[in-house]
Amino acid sequence: MLLRQLFDPALAQYSYLIGCQRTGEAIVIDPLRDIEPYLELAAANGLRVTAVAETHIHADFVSGAQTFARRDPELRVIVSGEGGPDWQSEWAKGRLNTTVLKDGETFRVGGIEFTALHTPGHTPEHMSYLVTDLGGGADAPMAALTGDFIFIGDVGRPDLLEQAAGIAHTQEAGARQLFASLRKFGTRDDALLLLPAHGAGSACGKSLGAVPFSTLGYERRFNRALRLALEGGEQDFVDFILSGQPDPPPYFARMKAVNRDGIGGATEPAEVGEWPARDVVEWTLGRILDLRADREGFDEEHLPGAIHAPYPGAFFLPSAGSYVEADDRILLATASQSEADDAARQLFRIGLDHVVGWTSLKAVREEGLMKARTPRIDFADWDQSAITPDQRILDVRNRSEFEAGHLPHSLNIPYTRLAPRMREIPEDKELLIHCGSGKRAALASSYLRALGYRTVHIDGTCTDCERIASEQALSH
C-alpha cells in the first residue's frame, strides 16, 4: 500500500492518495477542485486514480470529487448515504459508478479495504473510513481517515450548519451527535493512525494542531475535546465545544450548496493575463483585490475601490470569500504573473472563477493611479476620549474575543461577517475600525471603504482590550 498526504496551506486542508501497488489502482480522499496534483502524484508512483471519496459535504472549499467525476465517467465516486434526505450528494445521484455508503459497509481499491463509519456531529452525513491493507497481510485497520470528525488536538465543530449556513437549531443537536460519535469511536486501538482533513489555521475547529497526523492513543491522552467526550458528561462537552468557535466566513454557505447540489464551470482555473495600467483607470465592473502584505503601504496609497487581501497568508481566502460574490469579476493588483496565477488558483478552489486579469502594482503606481488612501491611526496614539458623536467604534474581532473584553460603546461584527450584517453598520458615521493587532481591521476598513463608508483604520495591538479582558478574568 502507498499512502501520501497532500497539504494546502491556504485552506489548511489535507487530501490523501492511497494506492495498491500490486494492482496499480488508487483512490483520492477529499480532493480540492483542481485535481492535476493528484493525477501527477499518482502517475509518478505508477498508479492510476480509479476512485474518489468524500468524508462529508465540505463547507470551506469546492470538492474535487465533482471534477474527477466530470473528467472520467468510469471513475468510481464514493459518498455518504447517511444523515437523512437533506444531506445527500445530489450531484452524484443517478450517475453510473457512484457508491452511496451506509455505516459499516466496505469497498476495496485493489488489495486495500475501506470500512465506512458514520461519525455525525460536524455534519449529519459525516463518514470516517478505516483503512486495512489486506494485500499486505493485515487483518486490522492501520489508519482512519477522519475528515472533520477528529483533528490533531481538536475535534470538528458542530455549529457550522447554524452559524455559516443559517440552518437554525442544529448546533446543539450536532454537538450531542458529536459526543456520541466520539464515545463510540474512541474505544478503538491506541495504535490507530488518525488522518484528518484539516490542520492549524482552518476555521473548522478552534484549536487544531500543526502536526499532520497522530494516533488515537495519543489523542485520547492529550486532545482536550476528545478526552472530555470520553471522560466527562454530555452537557459539559456540549458547552465546551460550542464556546469560542471562530466566526465562519459567509462563503461557507455557498460551498455547502455547490458541494451538495453541484457546480458547473471550468475544471481548471483560467489563465490570468496582465492588464496594462491604462486599462485599469476606469474599471468599475467588479472587485479589485490588492494582494500586498504591507497594510500600512495599502493605507497610504491604493487603487480606488481596491480591497486589501494579502497574499499569501491566512487572511487571503477568508477576506476574498467574505467580500467577493461568486459572480463578481475580479482584477488582481499584485507584483508578478506567478503570484497572480497562484492567487487565482486559490480563488478557484472556493468557487471564485471570474478572475479577469492582473495588473502590476509598480506600473499603476508609476502611472499615478493609486489615488485612494485610508486614514490610519496607531492604537498607541489613539485618543479615545476625543471620539465625536459623528464616529462609531467597530470591533471586527471574533465574538469570543469581544466578549472577553472590549472597548466601551463599540459595535462588534467579525471581519468575515460584515456583508451579511451590513444593515447594522451606520452609514452616517465615520467608522473607527480595530481588531486585536490591526490586520483584520485593515481588511475590514478597505472593504467598507470600497462600499462608500467613511473609515479609519486603527492599527496595532488593542492594549485596552487586553487590559479589560485581564480585569474581567480576575473579577471572575
**Residues that are catalytic:** 435
Strand order in the sheet with 287-290: 306-308, 287-290, 330-334, 355-360
Q: Are 114 and 140 in contact (CB under 8 A)?
A: no
Contacts of 348 (CB under 8 A, 6+ apart): 33, 34, 62, 266, 268, 269, 355
The values of phi and psi at residue 361, to 5°, are -60, -40
Distance CA 396, CA 46 (A): 49
Cα gap 433→392, rounded to integer Å: 8
For the chain, how far is it from start to end, CA to CA, in angstroms? 54
Between CA 216 and CA 21 the distance in angstroms is 27
Q: What is the DSSP string of 144-165?
A: EEEETTB-SSSB--S-HHHHTT
Contact 249, 322 (CB under 8 A): yes
The pair phi, psi for residue 390, each rounded to 5°, is -85, 0
Residues contacting 414, CB < 8 A, separation 6+: 247, 396, 397, 398, 399
The SS3 call for residue 311 is: coil
What's the rounded Cα separation, in Å, for the pair 402 and 408? 11
Number of H helices and E strands in the chain, helices first, is: 15, 21
DSSP conformation letters of 178-232? HHHHHHHHTTS-TTPEEEESB-TT-TT-SS--SSS-EEHHHHHHH-HHHHHHHHS
- In whole angstroms, give the CA distance from residue 322 to residue 343: 16
Q: Which residue do the cell numbers 495588473 mark?
A: 359
Q: Could you give the CA distance from residue 215 to residue 326 in angstroms, rounded to a whole number? A: 39
